[in-house]
Amino acid sequence: MADESAEIVGSLGRELVLRLAPEELPLYPSLLSQFEGKNGGRGKASSRDQILGFGIGETMVLLTPVILSFARGFWDALIAEAAQTTLHGVLKHLHVGRSGQQDVPGSVPLTGEQLKLVRTVAEREADRLQVPTGQAKLLADAMVGLLAAPPVS
Amino acid sequence: MTTGSPGALPASPGPTAPGSAGTRRGALALPASTSFRFALLIAAVLASSIMVYGGIYSATPRGPALQELILTCHAHAMSPAPHGIFAIARADARARACEAGAERVEGVWVLAGIGVLALLAGVLYGAQPWWYRRRLRLSPLTGAALAGRLEDLRSRAGTGPVTWLQQPWNLHLSAFAFGRFRRRYVAISGGAVVAAVRQPAAFDAVVLHELAHIKNRDIDQTYLALAIWRAFVVAVLLPMAWLLIFSRVLGPPQHVLWRAAALGLIVYLLRDSIVRSREFDADARVREIDPDTSLGTVLADLPPPRRRAWHLGRFHPSGRERAAALLNPAPLYRCGFWDGLAVGLVAAIGAAAAQEMVFLLITVNPTGSLLPGAIFALFCGPALAVAIWRMRFGEPETAAGRGWPAGLGLGLGLALGPVVTLSAALDQSVAPDSLSLRTAGALAMWLALITFLFLSFPVWIGHWADWWQRPGGRAGAPVPARGGLLVAAVGAWVVLSAGLGLIQRSYLTVSNGGSARGVANDLIQSFMFAAGVDQSAQSRVVPLVFFAVPLSALLAGLRRPRAGGAAVRASWLRQARPGALLCVAGALTAAAAALAVAAVARAHTAAPVRWDPLFLGSLQIYDFQVAAAAAVVFAVIAAAALRSARAETTALAVAAVAGAAGGLVAANIAPIGYCVTPLSILYARPPASLCQNLYGGSYLAQSVLSVSAEAVVISLLFVPAAHSAGRALAIRRRRERSRMTPLWWLAAGAVAVAVIGGSVLRAAQASAPGTPVLGSIGNDGWVRGPGYDVRLFPGWYDTTPAGNRGRMVAVNAVYPTARLDILAFPASVAAPLDGLLRKQGARPVLLDGMRGLHVRRPGQAGNAVQEWSIAHGRFVYLVQVTEPAGYSHYLSHSVGAMLRSWHPATDG
C-alpha cells in the first residue's frame, strides 16, 4: 500500500510539474528520489570543488519540491477523508493514465462532487503548506484539471 | 580598467577599442597566460622537492655517513697539502671521485622522491572525475530537449565530446567543467536546468563559459595543478614538517621555518593564479564564440567576493573585474611585478636546487653553473617570454618600453631566490638570519645589483615582441606571431641560463659573509669578465641573442609579400640613415677615445713606467674598456635620440660597431704608436722599422669581438631606460620627431672622448705607482757600453750598477730570471775566451756583420744560456742571454731584437 501510495504521489507530482513547470521535468526523477529519501543526500559541494565552475548568485525557485509536498499532503488528506468513492475514482484515473489505456472498463470520469472534494482537499493542503492564496488556487485548479481531464500517457 | 555601472555595460566593445574582436582572437592565438604559470608551478614544485628530499636523506642514518665519507675523502686527497692552483684542482677532483658513489645514491633518492610525488599527482588527477561524481552526487542528464540544446552549444563552441551531468539540488544557475585527459564532463546545476527555459541567455552564457574552458584546454592544466598541489602537501610539505620537528639537519628551525613557508606559499599562490587567470581567457573565448552573448550582464550582476583583501588566494576574479575585462581585455595580457617576481624566484631557487642535483649526480661537470641554470631557465625563460609577448600584444601602440614592473619583480626574485633556498639556512652569516650592519648591507647591495642587472630584460623581450608582432612598426595593428614567440622563448632561455650562472657564481660572496663592497666588487667583476674577457660560447651567445631575435623577425617579414616595394625601400632607407650616421659617429668616437688614452698616457706617465709590460697590459685593458665605454655612451645617445620603432636594436648595433672600431684601434695602439709619434706609448722616437704592419689574425679578432661584445652587453642594461627617457622627454616637449643632427652627435661624441680620455689621467696615475720599475731604459731604450750601443726592447731594464759599465746587465720585467749580460774585456783575452767557448762547442756566427762565436748550453736552476763572443776594436765582448727554461719562445723576439740592435759605437 505504501509503495502504491508513493507511486501515486509520484505520478500526481509528475503530471502537475508537466502542467505547471515543464522546464523542471529533467530534474524530476532526481528530485523525486530525493523527496522519497531514496537518494543518499544532496552531495557536498563548495566553490573550491568547482574550480572551473561559473554561476550567478541568484537561486532559482523550483516548483517541483512544493508540488511533491503538495501531492503527498493531498493524497494523505484524501485518504484521511475516507472518501472511498473519490479515492477509488482517483486511483482508477491515475492507473489508466499511467497505463495509457483510455477504454479500460471502469475508467469513468470523476463526478462533480468528487471533483469538488478534490478541490477542497487540494486548497486545504496548499494552505497548510503556506502557499500564497493565488498560487494555492492555481495548484488546486491544476489538480482538478489533471483529474478531470481524460487520462493521457 | 573600466568600472562603470554593471547595468551600463554594453554587450560588446566598439570596433576600435583595444579589446576589439581581432585583437581578442589574436590573444587567443597566443599561448594562454596560465600556460606559463603552469610551467612555473612545475618548476617550483621540482625545486622545493629537490631541497626537501635532500634534507630528508640527510636526516636518515645515511646522511651522517655521507658527511663522514666526504670529510675522509677530502682529508685523503688534501694530504699532503697541495701547492698551486692546478694541484688543488687535482686534489679536489680526487676527493670528488672518492665521494661520488655515495653522493649519487643521495641523488637517486631525491629523484625517487620526485617520482613518488609525480605518481601521487598522477593518481589524484586520474581519480578526480570519479571523486567529483561521487562527492557531488552528479547524475546523468535527463531530458532530450535540454541535451539537444547543450549539444547545440557544444557544436557552436567547437569542442570535442562532452559528458553532460546534472546536480539537481544545486539551485543556483551554475555549471562546472572537469575531467581528465580525453574525458570531459560538464555538470549542470538544477538551477541551470530550469534557467535554460526561464533565463535562456544567462544559461547560454554560463554553459558556453564552461565549454570555453574545454576549448582553451583548461581542464588538464587546472586539475593537474590541483593534483600537484595536493601531492605536494602530502609528499613534500608533510615530510618537511616532520623534518622541522624531529631534525636539525637543515639548520636552526628559525632559519628553516620561514624558508619552508615561503616555498609552500610560492607553490600555493602559483596554483591559485593558474585557476584565476583561466577565467579571463574563458570569457574572451565566449565572446569569440558568441559575440552577442549576455555574459557581460551576467558577470556584472555577480555578487562581490567576500574576501576582498586576499585576492591572491581567490580562485576566481570578481564578476566586476571579468565584466570590465570583456570591454577592455587588459587583464588578459597583464604581466606585472608579481609575475616577474614569481619567474625570478622560481628560476633562482630552481637553479640552486639543480646545482645540488648536478653536484650529486655528476662527478665532473664541465659546464660549471651553466647546466643547473639552463635546466630551470628552460621553464622560466619561455614562461617570461609568453607573458611579455602577450602583454605587448595587448598594449596600445603608443606604449614603449613597458615591462619595467615585471623587470623589477624579476630582478628581485632572482636576487632573493638564493636567500630563500633551504640550503641557505646553513649559512651562518647572511641576512636576514644573521642581522648586522655588515650582513644587511651585503644583502642590500646584492639585491640592488642583481635587480639592476635584470631590470631591463623583460623590456627587451617586449621589444622582440614588437619586432614580430608589429611588423609595420608601432603604428601598425598587432598580429600574433607564434613562430616569433618560439624564437623569443629560446632566446629568453639562453639569456636567463647565463644570468642564473652568474648569480650562482656570485652569490658565494654573500653566503661567505662578504661585505657590501666585496659583494659589489665581485659581482661587477664577474659581470665584466663574462661580458668582455671570457671567451666562452656562453658569453658570446648572449649578445648575439639580442640581434638574432630581431633579425629573425626581419627575415620573416621579408618573406611576406607587401605592396609598394619601392616606397617601402625608400622608407627603410630613410629610417636607417640616422642609425647609420650614429654608427659612424660612435665608431669614430670609440676609436678616438682609444687613441686619446694612448696620447694622455704618453704625456702623463714616466717613460720607464710605460716601458713595463705589466703597465702596458693594464693600460691596454683599460683602453679596451674606454673603447667599450665610448660605444656604450653612443648606444645610449642613439637609444635616447632615435624615434624609430627599432631604436633599441639600432642602439645595440651602434654599440657593436663602435665597440668593434674601438677594439680595432685599441688592439693596434702599439703599431699605431710606432708610426705616429705623439701616440707612441713606448718610445719617444719610435724606430721607423716597426711602422710596418698592424696586428691581425686571431689576436685582433678576439680583441675586436671582446670589446664589441662588452659594449653590447653593458648597453643592454642602459638602452631601454635611455629610450624610455628619450621618449618621455620628447613627449613632454611635444616633439615626436627627432631634432638630433649629425653635428649634435659629433659634439656629444667629442664630449664623450674628452671625458673618457680624461679619465686615463687618473688611471695612469693610479696604476703607475704600483708598477715596479726595475731599472733604467737609457735614452729611449738605447744604452751605451764600452765601445757599443744596444737598444733595449720594451720590458727590459738596464740594471747595471753605477760605475761598472764594463758589464751591462739587463733584466726582464715579466720574467726576472731572464737576463742579458754584456761583458767587455780587453782585446788581449780574445784568444783564451774563444778557446773556452770552442771547448763548449761554440760555432762561428755573424753578429751585426762582425765575426764571432756562438754557443748554447744549459745554465743553473734549469735556465738556458746562449753566449756570443765578438771582438771589435779595443774590446772583445761576451754577450750572454739567460732564459728561464720553457719560456724561450716568449723571449726570443725581444732578445733577437736587442741582439740585432747591438753595434759598435760610432764614436768609437
C-alpha distances in Å from residue B629, one per residue of B545, B618, B710, B753: 21, 16, 9, 10
pLDDT for res B116: 94
- Tell me the C-alpha distance between B438 and B517, whole Å: 10
pLDDT for res B408: 95
Choose the mutation target among A14, A56, A59, A62 for the interface with B, i.e. most B CBs under 10 Å.
A56
Q: How far is CA B644 from the centre of its chain?
A: 26
pLDDT for res B8: 33
Give ∠ CA B121-B312-B320 in degrees, rounded to 5.
120
Report the first-to-last Cα separation within chain B, whole angstroms: 96
Q: Angle B482-511/B537-559 helices, nearest 10 degrees?
A: 160
Residue A37, in any domain of the structure: yes
C-alpha closest to that of B777 among B763, B764, B761, B790: B790
- What are the start-end ranges of the H helices in B733-871? 742-767, 830-839
- Tell me the C-alpha distance between B287 and B14, whole Å: 13
Minimum CA–CA partner of A32 in chain B: B168
pTM comes to 0.79
Report the first-to-last Cα separation within chain A, whole angstroms: 23
Predicted confidence band of residue B13 (pLDDT cuts 50, 70, 90): very low
| Contact call for B143 and A29, based on CB within 8 A | no
| Contact call for B196 and A23, based on CB within 8 A | yes
CA distance B190 to chain A (A): 7
Dihedral class, residue B860 (left if φ above 0, else alpha if ψ from -120 to 50, else beta): beta
Do strands B864-872 and B875-883 pair parallel, antiparallel, or not at all (unpaired)? Answer: antiparallel
- Tell me the C-alpha distance between B322 and B328, whole Å: 10
Quickly tell me which residue has 631525491 as its cell.
B110
Helix (H, G, I), strand (E, B) or coil at B784: strand
Size of interface A-B (CB pairs under 8 A): 132
Alpha-carbon torsion angle B94, B98, B101, B105, nearest 10: -110
- CB contact set of B629 (below 8 Å; sequence gap of 6+): B593, B714, B756
- Tell me the C-alpha distance between B312 and B310, whole Å: 5
Residue A133, in any domain of the structure: yes
Supply the range of the domain harboring residue A52: 2-96+110-148
pLDDT for res B211: 93
DSSP state of B329: -
pLDDT 10s digits, B840-895: 888 888 776 777 888 888 877 778 888 888 887 788 888 888 888 777 777 888 88
Q: Are B47 and B376 in contact (CB under 8 A)?
A: yes
Radius of gyration for the alpha carbons in chain B, expressed in angstroms and rounded = 36
Per-residue pLDDT for B310 more than 50? no
C-alpha closest to that of B640 among B725, B563, B758, B767: B725
| Contact call for B137 and A39, based on CB within 8 A | yes
Of the candidates B136, B189, B198, which has its C-beta nearest A55's C-beta?
B189
**Residues B637-641: contacts with CB under 8 Å, at least 24 apart:** B637/B582, B637/B722, B637/B745, B637/B748, B638/B579, B638/B582, B638/B586, B639/B718, B639/B719, B639/B720, B639/B722, B639/B723, B639/B726, B640/B722, B640/B723, B640/B725, B640/B726, B640/B729, B641/B578, B641/B582, B641/B726, B641/B738, B641/B740, B641/B745
The one-letter amino acid at B711: A
C-alpha closest to that of B723 among B400, B381, B380, B499: B400
Mean of pLDDT over chain B: 82
- Sequential DSSP letters for B623-684: HHHHHHHHHHHHHHHHHHH--STTHHHHHHHHHHHHHHHHHHHHHTHHHHHHHSGGG-SS-S
Q: Exposed, middle or buried, B540 (CB in 10 Å: 0-12/13-18/19+)?
A: middle
- Tell me the C-alpha distance between B629 and B752, whole Å: 9
C-alpha distances in Å from residue B593, one per residue of B359, B588, B589, B657, B703: 46, 8, 6, 14, 16
Q: How far is CA B383 from the centre of its chain?
A: 16
Helix (H, G, I), strand (E, B) or coil at B717: helix
Q: Does A61 touch chain B (CB under 8 A)?
A: yes
C-alpha closest to that of B36 among B444, B525, B479, B379: B379
pLDDT 10s digits, B289-299: 888 887 888 88
Query: Domain tally for chain A?
Result: 1
Q: Are B488 and B465 in contact (CB under 8 A)?
A: yes
| Contact call for A30 and B166, based on CB within 8 A | yes
| Contact call for A26 and B223, based on CB within 8 A | no
Per-residue pLDDT for B44 more than 80? yes
pLDDT for res B12: 38
Q: Does A63 touch chain B (CB under 8 A)?
A: no
CA distance A129 to chain B (A): 20
- Taking contacts as CB-CB distances below 8 angstroms, the residues of chain A near B301 are 56-58
- Taking contacts as CB-CB distances below 8 angstroms, the residues of chain A near B202 are 56
Highest-scoring range by mean pLDDT, B209-223, B246-260, B418-432, B468-482: B209-223
% helix / strand / coil in chain A, to the nearest 5? 65, 5, 30
- Taking contacts as CB-CB distances below 8 angstroms, the residues of chain B near A29 are 142
| Contact call for A60 and B137, based on CB within 8 A | no
For A32-43, what is the mean pLDDT? 67
Q: How many CA atoms, within 13 angstroms, populate the side-chain half-sphere of residue B709?
A: 25
Residue A56, in any domain of the structure: yes
pLDDT 10s digits, B888-906: 777 888 888 888 888 877 6
Lowest mean pLDDT across B137-151, B371-385, B830-844, B847-861? B847-861
Residue A64, in any domain of the structure: yes
- What are the start-end ranges of the H helices in B397-436? 404-420
Minimum CA–CA partner of B317 in chain A: A54
Predicted confidence band of residue B173 (pLDDT cuts 50, 70, 90): confident
% helix / strand / coil in chain B, to the nearest 5? 65, 10, 25
| Contact call for A26 and B169, based on CB within 8 A | no
Dihedral class, residue B176 (left if φ above 0, else alpha if ψ from -120 to 50, else beta): beta
pLDDT for res B184: 92
| Contact call for B175 and A47, based on CB within 8 A | no
According to DSSP, the residues that pair with B140 across neighbouring strands are B165
Predicted confidence band of residue B135 (pLDDT cuts 50, 70, 90): confident
C-alpha closest to that of B427 among B522, B521, B518, B352: B352
pLDDT 10s digits, A92-133: 666 555 555 454 444 556 777 777 888 888 888 888 877 787
- Tell me the C-alpha distance between B135 and B547, whole Å: 56
Residue A28, in any domain of the structure: yes
Query: Other CB atoms closer than 10 Å to residue A71's CB: what's the count?
Result: 25
Residue A84, in any domain of the structure: yes
Choose the mutation target among A24, A34, A51, A64 for the interface with B, i.e. most B CBs under 10 Å.
A51
Residue A103, in any domain of the structure: no
Per-residue pLDDT for B361 more than 90? no
ipTM: 0.75
DSSP state of B26: H
C-alpha distances in Å from residue B555, one per residue of A71, B469, B644: 77, 14, 19
- Tell me the C-alpha distance between B376 and B504, whole Å: 13
Q: Are B44 and B267 in contact (CB under 8 A)?
A: yes
Predicted confidence band of residue A40 (pLDDT cuts 50, 70, 90): low
pLDDT for res B373: 85
- Sequential DSSP letters for B123-148: HHHHHHHHHHHHHTT-EE---HHHHH
CA distance A38 to chain B (A): 13
Residue A102, in any domain of the structure: no
Q: Does A42 touch chain B (CB under 8 A)?
A: yes
- Tell me the C-alpha distance between B228 and B233, whole Å: 9
- Sequential DSSP letters for B512-574: TT--HHHHHHHHHHHHHIIIII--SHHHHHHHHHHHHHHHHHHHHHHHS--S-HHHHHHHHHH
C-alpha distances in Å from residue B643, one per residue of B203, B638, B729, B738: 51, 9, 12, 6
pLDDT 10s digits, B662-698: 999 999 888 888 888 888 888 888 877 777 777 778 8
- Tell me the C-alpha distance between B217 and B181, whole Å: 10
Q: Does A120 touch chain B (CB under 8 A)?
A: no
Quickly tell me which residue has 743553473 as its cell.
B860
pLDDT for res A108: 59
